[in-house]
Each structure stands twice: as C-alpha cells, then as structure tokens.
Structure 1
Amino acid sequence: MIRKRSLVRRTAAAAASGAAALVLAACGGNGDDTGSAAGHGGHNAAASSSAAASAPASQGQHNAADVAFAKGMIPHHRQAVEMADLASGRARSAEVKKLAADIKKAQDPEIKKLSGWLTSWGEEVPAEGAMDHSMHGGMEGMMTEQEMTELENASGETFDTAFMEMMIRHHEGAVAMARTEQADGAYEPTKKMAGQIITSQSAEIEQMNKLLGKD
C-alpha cells in the first residue's frame, strides 16, 4: 500500500513537472513569438506608415483636373507637332519654318513629361491615334480631318497662311486648357507647365498675327 502510494506520488510529481515544463516552454514560446510578432508587427506598421506617408506624395498631390489636362494636352500637342512637321517641306517663309521648328522643339518634351506624370499616377496615356481627326474638332482648337488634309495639300504662301491661321486657333485652345489647369489643378509641376504654355503660346499667337498682318 505504501509502495503504491509512493508510486502514485512519483507519477503525480512527474506529471506536475512535465506540465510545468510545458507551461514554461509555452510561455517561453509565446514570449518569443510575441516578441517576434511584435517585431514583425512593428516593422509592418512602420512599413505601412511609410507607405501611407509616401502615398500622398505620389498620389495625393494631383486631382482629376490634372489628369484631364494631361490626357487632353497630349493629343493636342501631338497634332501641333504633326502640323509643324508639314512646314519643313511646304512652307515658303523662313519665319514660318522657324516657328514650326520651335513649336515641335517645345511640345515634344512636354508630351513626354505629361505621359510620365500619367504613368506615375496610374493613369493610361492616350495611345497614338487614340483620337482621330474626326474627333479633333470637338476639342479646344483642334483641327478636323478635312482641315488637316487641306493643310497637307497646301504649299508656299497658301500653306504659310493656312498654317498660321490654324495654329493660332490651336494655340488659343491650348491656352484655354492651360488656364483651366491653373484654376482647377493641384499638381504643381503640371500647373507650372500650364503657365509656360500660356506664356510661350500667347507670344507665338502674337507673332503669327503680326506675320498675317492682323496686328
């Protein structure tokens, strides 16, 4: 009987010891896991905080007006460059040829900047030819397909006159779009470009009016 009780005590003691070991292991494991989780949680929280902080820098500084300006100005500039490309082989006036070259030189880089901004905002860049000439007449100062065909078929003084008259309207449309961007936009680099467009294209409008004898 005594032996049996002794055996029971030893078994109970062993069980208690084992249970204690399990509890300690569990506590130790939980402590490690909690520490690890806290570490990872802290890291993830820091990462999330960092991501949240960077989000406004990349996304929050632009608005719908900036997107609309970029998406509208890209095809607008592309048509101006297309018109300018015609001048080298059709224009008679050296001043018109230089004007066309200056327009292309200014607007090609702007197309690249506008495209880059749209990409960084997660927006689609208008595809080449996304807006055919039949739709152009509905945009600010854009030429219709018929007008572009007339310009392509012109040469000499006829081309010079048609080019300048069309480009004045085209520039006036761009200036109007740029003024809207300055009033409604939020992204400073885009608003700055809009200001540059207003200044440069207003000056070119004045120059073309003088060449046409309208001033």
Structure 2
Amino acid sequence: MRTMNKTSRAVVAGSSILVGALLLTGCTINIGGTGMNDSMMGNSESTSGFSSNDIMFAQMMIPHHQQAVDMSTLAETRSTNPEILALAVQIKDAQAPEIKQMTAWLESAGAGMDMGHDMGMGGMLTNEQMTALSNASGAEFDKLYLQGMIAHHEGAIQMAKMIEDSNNAEAKTLAANIVKSQSAEIEKMKQMLAGM
C-alpha cells in the first residue's frame, strides 16, 4: 500500500510538472533572447504566407506603435521645441503606415487583435505615465517624452527580433526597418536628452 501511495504521488507530481511546463511553453516568449522554437510556438505558415510568429508580432506591435503615435500627437500641443516637434512628426510618419501594414497582415491571415492571453510588450508606458505625459508641457513634457520614447523604442527593437528570421520577406523587411530606424532615433533622443 505504501509503495502504491509513493507511486501515485510520483505520477501526480510528474503530471503537475508537465502541465506547468506546457502552460509556460504556450504563454511565455523570450523577446530579448535568441528567438522562439518554431515547434513550440506552432510557427506554421498560414495561407497568407505569414507564420503564427509573424501574426503574434503584429498583434503585439500594432498597439505598441499606436501608443508611440499617441505620444507624438501629444507633442504637437505640449512642446514648443522644434527638435521634439520634428521627431514627433518623423515617428508618426513612420509608424502610422506600419500599423496599416500589420493590420493588413492580420486581415489576410483571418486573424484578429485578440491573442487569447496577455503578452508583455517592452517599453509600453503605463496609464499613469501616459497621464503624466498628457498633463506635462514645455521642458517637462520634452524630458518625459524623450525618456518614455527611448524605452518604447528599445522595447520595439526587442520585439522586432521575434521576426528578423521570418520566412516572409515583408515581415523580415519590416523587422529590419524597425531596428534600423528606431536605433538611429534612440541615439538622437539620447543626445537631445543629454543637452537638456
């Protein structure tokens, strides 16, 4: 009887570990790492030519980009710094079309914005940070905007690494463009911030 109890406990413990591992595999993502295991993520191509990984990226990056556009829209009425205003226009001009592009991916794949679970998106401002940014003006706004946008861009670059090895040429090109343009903007923003 004691042997059966030990065996039963071992089976239950093993099953719990396996279930936990499967849950973690399905719901975690190593954004900053070497990439995801395609078989783990079910990274098969849909009829649209976009893999499940490409689609997940779009589902995460659309709201991420939208927040950058929203932050830059705030700059139009809260900053008087010509460099900040020019940067805000540059960011909106780059990211608004990318939102449309990624939305088209989802439509072609028959996917919506709902990922089924909450994924972490690096660099996103919290509601409190967005409120503080919205309530600020002048030099205070400029500083908060630059600090927030640097972190935001760093998060976007890490997210873009999800699809830098995509088999889809459009997805791969978008990832490369995001890394290149936002890396350059980070350097520019760091210089601007240092000069304040």
Matches of residues 39-58 of structure 1 in structure 2 within 5 Å? Answer: none
The answer for the alignment partner of 2:124 in structure 1 is 142
* 2:22 aligned residue: none
Which residue number corresponds to residue 81 of structure 1? 69
Deviations 1:47-106 (A, max 9, x none): xxxxxxxxx997263211101111011000100000000001101311001000110011
C-alpha distance in structure 1 between counterparts of 2:167 and 2:130, whole Å = 34
Shifted more, 96-105 versus 117-126: the winner is 117-126
Identity of aligned residues (%): 44
Q: How does 1:25-174 map to 2 (within 5 A)?
A: 59=47, 61-125=49-113, 138-174=120-156
Q: CA deviation at 1:188?
A: 1.4
Task: Say if 1:202 and 1:193 are closer, same or farther in 2 by CA, change over 3 A.
Answer: same
Q: Helix, strand or coil for the counterpart of 2:194?
A: coil
- Other-structure match for 1:180: 162
Rounded to whole Å, the distance in 2 between the matches of 1:176 and 1:152 is: 26
1:88–1:114 Cα change, 3 Å:
same
Structure 1 runs (4+) deviating above 4 angstroms are none
Asked if 2 retains the 8 angstrom alpha-carbon contact of 1:119 and 1:125, the reply is: no
**Counterparts of 1:105 and 1:179 in 2: how far apart (Å)?**
22
Q: Please say if residues 78 and 137 of structure 2, whose CA atoms lie closer than 8 Å, have aligned partners that are also in contact.
A: yes
Question: Aligned pair count?
Answer: 149
In structure 1, the residue matched to 2:175 is: 194
Structure 2 CA distance for aligned equivalents of residues 95 and 60 of structure 1: 40
TM-score by length of 1: 0.65
- Check whether the contact 2:146–2:189 (CA below 8 A) recurs between aligned residues: yes
C-alpha RMSD of the superposition: 2.1
SS of 1:196's equivalent in the other structure is helix
Distance in 1, matches of 2:100 and 2:111, equals: 14
Gaps of 5+ in 2: 1-43
CA distance in structure 1 between the aligned counterparts of 2:75 and 2:156, rounded to whole angstroms:
20
- The one-letter code sitting in structure 2 at the alignment partner of 1:85 is T
Give me the whole-angstrom Cα distance separating, in 2, the residues matched to 1:75 and 1:91: 24
Q: Which amino acid aligns with 1:200?
A: S
* TM-score scaled by length of structure 2: 0.71
Say which one has the larger Rg.
1
1:144: Cα distance to partner?
0.3
By percentage of residues, which structure has more helix? Answer: 1
Q: Which runs of 5+ in 1 are unaligned?
A: 1-55, 127-134
Whole-angstrom CA distance in 2 between matches of 1:172 and 1:64: 23
